[in-house]
Amino acid sequence: MAGSSTEYIKHHLTNLTYGKLPAGYERVEADGSTHVLEKDTWTLAHTGEEAGAMGFNSVHVDSLGWSVGLMLLLMVLFRAAAKKATTGIPTGFQNFIEIVIEFIDNNVKDTFHGRNKLVAPLALTVFTWVFMMNLMDLLPVDVVPSIVGLFGIHYMKIVPSTDPNITFGMSITVFAMMIYFSIRVKGIGGFAGELALQPFKVKNPALQAVFVPINLFLETIALVAKPISLALRLFGNMYAGEMIFILIALMFGAGLALGVLGGVLQWAWAVFHILVITLQAFIFMMLTIVYMSMAHEEH
């Protein structure tokens, strides 16, 4: 039982990976036979070991596919709401979209004190996209993998925010925008001055020169920590939530009593996880707004 449970967990935590297996790699087929690759081969990984052997030359097809698909779905939904918008009595869907936009717009006005028309749309995109990716965690863990398994697809993770590649991709993009607008608003000198002259700033030029390396060290660490913490916070919370769903799912195969208990626990955790899903999307959005505000403000 322990062995099958371990395999079950590993299977559900493995991404559908496409990458290059090196020449000479001994590949195990579904029927148990093996063969050695004569040349470098681009293919879908059949096992977690193959995904690891692909190394950096690999792509998580499921994470990219679901994240892009959810973004396209959001674009369709918002476009439909915009086309059907009316100045009269709004429909329920239009009312819901207006509430979301007003909520985000108010948070931007309260937090961002610069002048940049990009920030509000960016916040809206971040919140809704992260929320939709997190929301996938409420689907039963076995439904989609079982369906795609009928077509010979070995793995399928449907929650993109449980993949650090996705969360780091978003956080690095926010970080790059923060650096860009910092330099654009303050200039190279102003941006460098914030790194070199903070937090220790004195009027004596000779003493200030002594503090410059210390300031650079401290401020660089603080700067680099922003995208890392932004990515890991979202990934860690969603990965832990998915792991709990998987562990609860194991109870359904352990007898009637544990199966019933598992159903109750799954329902309770799903209700609580709705708060986690929304909160993590909100935190990611708010930190994005804060970082953009920092890029437009001088100390």
- Active-site residue 293, yes or no? no
pLDDT in tens, the chain (299 residues): 445 788 888 888 889 999 988 888 888 776 667 888 888 888 888 888 888 888 887 899 999 999 999 999 999 999 988 888 777 777 788 888 889 999 999 999 999 987 888 999 999 999 999 999 999 999 888 888 888 888 888 889 999 999 999 999 999 999 999 999 999 988 898 888 888 888 777 787 777 788 788 888 988 999 999 999 999 999 999 999 999 988 888 887 777 777 788 788 888 888 888 999 999 999 999 999 999 998 887 65
- Active-site residue 204, yes or no? no
Query: How is 165-212 classified by DSSP, letter by letter?
Result: HHHHHHHHHHHHHHHHHHHHHHHHHHHHHHHHSSS---S-HHHHHHHH
Q: Minimal CA–CA distance to 238: which of 170, 154, 293?
A: 170
Q: Is the full-model pTM beyond 0.75?
A: yes
pLDDT digits (tens, 9 = 90+) for 203-222: 877 777 887 888 889 889 99
- Residue 1: the pLDDT is 43
- Output DSSP code: residue 164: H
Q: Minimal CA–CA distance to 58: which of 17, 25, 11?
A: 17
- Residue 206: the pLDDT is 78
pLDDT digits (tens, 9 = 90+) for 39-65: 888 888 888 888 888 888 789 999 999
Q: Which H or E run contains 21?
A: strand 17-21
Tell me how far CA of residue 11 lies from CA of 6, 17, 97, 159, 197, in angstroms.
Answer: 9, 13, 37, 14, 50
Q: Which of 107, 116, 165, 233 is catalytic?
A: 233
Q: Minimal CA–CA distance to 49: which of 7, 91, 110, 103?
A: 7
266 neighbors 245 (Cβ within 8 angstroms): yes
Tokens of 214: 């210390």
- Residue 175: the pLDDT is 95
- Active-site residue 233, yes or no? yes
Tell me how far CA of residue 83 lies from CA of 77, 79, 94, in angstroms.
Answer: 10, 6, 10
**Complete edge-to-edge strand list for the sheet that includes strand 41-44:** 41-44, 17-21, 58-60
289 neighbors 123 (Cβ within 8 angstroms): yes
Helix (H, G, I), strand (E, B) or coil at 283: helix
List the alpha helices (DSSP H) in 197-255.
205-250
Beta-ladder partners of 78: none
- Output DSSP code: residue 159: -
Tokens of 253: 């195969």
CA distance 213 to 224: 16
Q: Which of 15, 134, 237, 293 is catalytic?
A: 237
Q: Which of 57, 95, 146, 229 is catalytic?
A: 229
